[in-house]
């Protein structure tokens, strides 16, 4: 298989005049972009960064970040992108853990970099106004010969860090071969055509953003940068650039759909929708289907470790279903407490989802974390920590995370099931369900509600009574909030709700017992 550097050069030869990247007024063809990327490779050489070194970046989705990604693939450098919102403590930890040899960042991360002791003596490249001891990114863009690939398909391509919601962030190193296999499968499973145009807003420190970048390169497509998500800007970009496909987390779809400009924006160019990173409520699924009427609507379930676990390529027809195993994977559900991953849950029986480690897109283990490997890697299978079940027809349904399961009075309650039912109430904009401590029940089911219009706990309790929810699954408490806490990529942070880290809606009904 090609390494990614060779893959990009092949794309340049195939589509030299096609538009490869757009960032505001900047438009580069594949040939023109290759010239700039080659300059960046030469600049990294001048800094003394060698193949196999880790280069840490703190960048938003801009052409410099995308160019750095490709330059590292060509140079054999292991790109290690971090969330540009990282604190100095986050940065120090990752710099030391990865044994980074250089840092590339932009002005928005200046405070974190200035206060990170580990960044003091590293070569630093800055997108923006560089300090005297730094190199400006623009200084890398000097005339240089066309870069040639220095990596093989079996070399490391990049290392992503997990979110670290329950422990220290874990490095997930991935090889060129796995990254390219994931991009090819992404194209096939989303039925991308030649010359597609995608909204490049999912962060390039996140596997979804990287997949969009690589996939577009393979089909002569265009990656249209949006540095950070803003629904108004996203809608304007969709109309102006005639975006053909969207691959986003549900939160971003929700915010676009409910923005005041949505009904006045030409979205007709968008023919393919895909989502991943979190579950989508039935209500949001229905609204998006009605609004876009796409030719394809894909629910993609995966992770940084195993890019694609399953694909449901007709999400509206099977709401809630994660579908079946992707092209490069096999999936099984293992009963809770099973001694081995070779035990399989019966249809309809809930358990932990496991993915085969020999899949083409799979990682091989965490970076220098043997204790994490011992927990997650078992007999050739990756224990995802996600819970779910197969129905009688072989379709996978996710029910949450092992750590999110609510045990109330000895009964197991899936937050996703309750959220799906509540999301169908017209007064609810967003909902999150968690278990809160209770002396009698151990935990009670609590629903945190962001309202679209006035509604009372009694109304919502009646809605649940009239649904198919079992009595023990009904929320015992409804709490109205201004917003739900989320990660930078839109994932719900349930732990913050449990800890009381949220802003109640300023109404008398807040925190009312149902």
Looking up tokens 């030469």 gives 42
pLDDT band per the 50, 70, 90 thresholds, residue 164: low
425-469, pLDDT tens digit by residue? 999 999 999 999 887 787 899 999 999 999 999 999 999 988 778
pLDDT band per the 50, 70, 90 thresholds, residue 50: very high
Q: Find the mean pLDDT for residues 158-171.
A: 79
232-271, pLDDT tens digit by residue? 999 999 999 999 999 998 889 999 999 999 999 999 999 9
The H or E element that residue 6 is part of is helix 4-14
Q: What is the pTM of this model?
A: 0.84
Is residue 94 domain-resident? yes
Quote the pLDDT of residue 168. 81
pLDDT band per the 50, 70, 90 thresholds, residue 402: confident
End-of-domain residue from the set 108, 141, 174? 174
End-of-domain residue from the set 122, 148, 174? 174
Quote the pLDDT of residue 507. 57
| Cα–Cα distance, 305 to 316 (Å, whole number) | 27
| Cα–Cα distance, 452 to 455 (Å, whole number) | 9
pLDDT band per the 50, 70, 90 thresholds, residue 414: confident
Is residue 61 domain-resident? yes
Taking each helix axis as running N to C, give the angle between helix 4-14 and helix 30-46, from 0 to 180 degrees, rounded to the nearest 10: 150
| Length, in residues, of the chain | 514
Structural domain tally of the chain? 2
Tell me, what CATH number does 166's domain have?
3.40.50.980
Min mean pLDDT across 26-30, 201-205, 321-325, 415-419 is at 415-419
- The set of residues, in sequence order, having a beta carbon less than 8 Å from that of 292 and lying 6+ positions away, is 267, 270, 273
Does 177 have pLDDT greater than 70? yes
pLDDT band per the 50, 70, 90 thresholds, residue 167: low
Does 511 have pLDDT greater than 60? no
Is residue 71 domain-resident? yes
Is residue 391 domain-resident? no
Is residue 46 domain-resident? yes
Is residue 17 domain-resident? yes
Q: Find the mean pLDDT for residues 177-191.
A: 98
pLDDT band per the 50, 70, 90 thresholds, residue 166: very low
Helix/strand/coil for 367: coil
Is residue 36 domain-resident? yes
pLDDT band per the 50, 70, 90 thresholds, residue 514: very low
Contact 75, 100 (CB under 8 A): no
Tell me, what CATH number does 455's domain have?
3.30.300.30
336-367, pLDDT tens digit by residue? 989 999 999 999 999 999 999 999 999 999 99
Is residue 83 domain-resident? yes
> Does the CA dihedral 177-123-103-146 come out positive or negative?
negative
**Average per-residue pLDDT in the chain?**
93
% pLDDT > 70, the chain: 97
Range(s) of the domain holding residue 37: 1-174
End-of-domain residue from the set 149, 174, 199? 174
Q: What is the CA radius of gyration of the chain?
A: 23
Does 33 have pLDDT greater than 60? yes
Quote the pLDDT of residue 207. 95
């Amino acid at each position: 298989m090609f390494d990614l550097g060779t893959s990009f050069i092949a794309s340049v030869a195939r589509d030299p005049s096609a538009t490869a990247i757009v960032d505001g007024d900047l438009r580069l063809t594949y040939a023109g972009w290759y010239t700039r990327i080659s300059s960046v490779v030469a600049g990294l050489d001048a800094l003394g960064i060698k193949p196999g070194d880790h280069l840490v970046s703190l960048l938003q989705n801009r052409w410099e970040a995308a160019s750095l990604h490709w330059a590292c693939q060509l140079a054999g450098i292991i790109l290690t992108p971090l969330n540009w919102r990282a604190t100095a403590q986050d940065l120090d930890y990752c710099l030391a853990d990865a044994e980074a040899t250089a840092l590339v960042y932009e002005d928005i991360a200046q405070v974190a970099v200035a206060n990170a002791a580990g960044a003091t003596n590293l070569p630093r490249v800055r997108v923006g106004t560089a300090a005297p001891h730094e190199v400006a990114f623009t200084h890398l863009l000097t005339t240089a010969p066309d870069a040639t690939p220095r990596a093989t398909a079996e070399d490391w391509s990049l290392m992503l860090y997990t979110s670290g919601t329950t422990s220290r962030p874990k490095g997930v190193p991935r090889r060129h071969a796995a990254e390219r296999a994931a991009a090819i499968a992404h194209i096939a499973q989303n039925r991308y055509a030649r010359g597609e145009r995608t909204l490049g807003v999912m962060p390039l420190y996140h596997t979804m953003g990287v997949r969009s970048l690589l996939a577009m390169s393979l089909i002569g497509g265009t990656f249209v940068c949006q540095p950070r998500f803003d629904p108004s800007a996203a809608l304007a970009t969709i109309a102006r650039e005639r975006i053909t496909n969207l691959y986003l987390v549900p939160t971003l779809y929700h915010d676009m759909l409910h923005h005041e400009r949505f009904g006045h924006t030409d979205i007709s160019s968008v023919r393919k929708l895909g989502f991943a990173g979190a579950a989508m409520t039935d209500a949001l699924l229905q609204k998006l289907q009605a609004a876009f009427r796409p030719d394809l609507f894909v629910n993609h379930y995966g992770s940084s470790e195993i890019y694609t676990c399953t694909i449901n390529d007709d999400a509206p027809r099977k709401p809630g279903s994660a579908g079946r195993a992707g092209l490069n994977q096999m999936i099984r559900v293992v009963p809770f407490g099973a001694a081995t991953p070779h035990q399989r849950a019966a249809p309809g029986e809930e358990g932990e989802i496991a993915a085969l480690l020999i899949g083409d897109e799979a990682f091989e283990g965490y970076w220098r974390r043997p204790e994490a490997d011992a927990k997650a890697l078992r007999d050739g299978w990756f224990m995802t920590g996600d819970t779910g079940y197969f129905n009688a027809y072989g379709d996978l349904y996710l029910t949450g995370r092992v750590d999110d399961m609510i045990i109330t009075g000895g009964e197991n309650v899936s937050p996703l099931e309750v959220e799906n039912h509540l999301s169908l109430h017209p007064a609810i904009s967003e909902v999150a369900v968690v278990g809160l401590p209770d002396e009698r029940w151990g935990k009670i089911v609590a629903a945190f509600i962001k309202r679209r219009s006035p509604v009372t706990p009694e109304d919502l309790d009646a809605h649940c009574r009239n649904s198919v929810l079992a009595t023990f699954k009904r929320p015992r408490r409804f709490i109205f909030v201004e917003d739900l806490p989320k990660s930078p990529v839109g994932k719900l942070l349930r732990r913050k709700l449990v800890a009381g880290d949220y802003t109640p809606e300023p109404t008398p009904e807040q925190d009312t017992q149902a």
